[in-house]
Amino acid sequence: MSAEYINFLSRRAFIAAGVAAPMLANAQSAGGRVIVPYAPGAATDTLGRIMADLLSDGTGTKYIVENRGGGATQIGTKAVAAAPADGQTLGFIDTAFVINPGLFGPKLPYDTVQDFAPVSLMATAPLALIVHQSVAAATITEFLTLARAQPGKLSYGSAGAGSAPHLAGEQLRIAAGIAIVHIPYRGGATVLNDLLAGHIHFGFTTVPTMLPHIRAGTVRALAVTSPTRAPQLPQVPTMREVLLPAVDASPLFGLVAPSRTPRAVLDKLAAVAQQVRSGPVRARLQEMGFTPVGSTPDEFRARIVGDIRKWTDVVKAGSIRASE
């Protein structure tokens, strides 16, 4: 083989490599994204990453998480609504998705029902009514008696007006007919610190967050908002058991797509998401304190519509404003 021919082959190989390199890079970078409308580190972000991994394994398409926080989740959620309806861009949402229509009304930059195609409700998380140890109430009945005897004296905190813990407090106020004081904070961590320090009397928090403090005796859990008792707190009754079924705030976490996404694509994605019902993903979610669901698209749509109606009524009844 002549030196000239070898040089010719080398030049061809070099040119081919140069053409193939960007093609390979594009192939490696091509894939899907799951937009999470929060900064990294939040519970919704953690679950969104679990879902992205599940979708990657189940569809053969690599899904990555894209965090777009801000605007009370509106920035990231709007990006999902505006994305191509091909199943490559999805949104991972939580309870803010169904609270915001009642809280912001026509100011929302999208229509929560019309601009999205529900895929699957991944999980829910019960809240627990937690009181500081200084509160003279060992049961929910004693707590309500105390609240009625001291109207306007018991205070509770939340991460802000319209948050799930805030609306749980509103549900309790309305259902039990008590006068309690809501103190909005700028974040859940500050609420937790003030509750542990006794600066506020009670609050609604997720069970795993407070479990170490409950066991230490710093706070007491009086009831949970889930339909059944929390596995971590089997001795604590549900709100239904104490005749307060209207207090049912349980944050939801799920997957949505742009509204024009074909039904076949939705069903394929939902089938993958439903793997949370069993196996290691289910065990992991339960260990984290969540209740795995894995619904169908139609089931999730019904839940979304029902929750929008429910939270809009609570917001109106409490005259709650987003700027509060």
Q: What pLDDT shows up at residue 13? A: 39
| Chain center to CA of 24 | 36
159-179 pLDDT per residue, tens: 888 999 999 999 999 999 999
Q: What pLDDT shows up at residue 87? A: 96
| Chain center to CA of 78 | 16
Task: Tell me what the mean pLDDT of segment 193-218 comes to.
Answer: 93
- Per-residue pLDDT band at 2 (split at 50, 70, 90): very low
Q: What pLDDT shows up at residue 28? A: 34
Report the percent of the chain where pLDDT is more than 90. Answer: 80
Task: Tell me what the mean pLDDT of segment 204-219 comes to.
Answer: 91
User: What are the C-alpha distances in Å from 301 to residues 110, 118, 191, 255?
Assistant: 16, 6, 32, 11
Query: From start to end of 31-171, where are the E strands?
Result: 32-36, 63-67, 89-93, 116-124, 127-132, 155-158
CA distance 61 to 24: 15
What is the DSSP-derived secondary structure letter of residue 237?
P
The answer to whether 132 and 198 have CB atoms below 8 angstroms apart is yes
Q: What pLDDT shows up at residue 187? A: 78
The answer to whether 223 and 235 have CB atoms below 8 angstroms apart is no
72-96 pLDDT per residue, tens: 999 999 999 999 999 999 999 999 9
Q: By mean pLDDT, which of 22-26, 61-65, 277-281 is the weakest?
A: 22-26
User: What are the C-alpha distances in Å from 255 to residues 2, 99, 105, 110, 155?
Assistant: 62, 16, 22, 17, 35
8-50 pLDDT per residue, tens: 334 443 333 343 333 323 333 358 999 999 999 888 999 999 9
The structural domains of the chain, ordered by start, are 31-124+251-317 (3.40.190.150), 127-224 (3.40.190.10)
CA distance 145 to 50: 43
Task: Tell me what the mean pLDDT of segment 215-224 comes to.
Answer: 95
**DSSP3 helix / strand / coil % (the chain, rounded to 5):** 50, 20, 35
Q: By mean pLDDT, which of 69-78, 83-92, 185-194, 254-263 is the weakest?
A: 185-194
Q: In the predicted model, is pLDDT for residue 219 greater than 80? A: yes
φ/ψ bin of 154: left (φ > 0), alpha (ψ from -120 to 50), beta (otherwise): beta
Task: Tell me what the mean pLDDT of segment 275-303 comes to.
Answer: 95
Q: In the predicted model, is pLDDT for residue 209 greater than 70? A: yes
CA distance 286 to 288: 5
User: What are the C-alpha distances in Å from 206 to residues 6, 64, 196?
Assistant: 69, 27, 14
Q: What pLDDT shows up at residue 17? A: 38
Mean pLDDT of the chain: 89
Tokens linked to 16: 């081919």
The answer to whether 125 and 249 have CB atoms below 8 angstroms apart is no
Q: What pLDDT shows up at residue 323? A: 53
Tokens linked to 291: 């209740």
Q: In the predicted model, is pLDDT for residue 103 greater than 60? A: yes
The answer to whether 131 and 202 have CB atoms below 8 angstroms apart is yes
132-168 pLDDT per residue, tens: 999 999 999 999 999 999 999 999 999 888 999 999 9
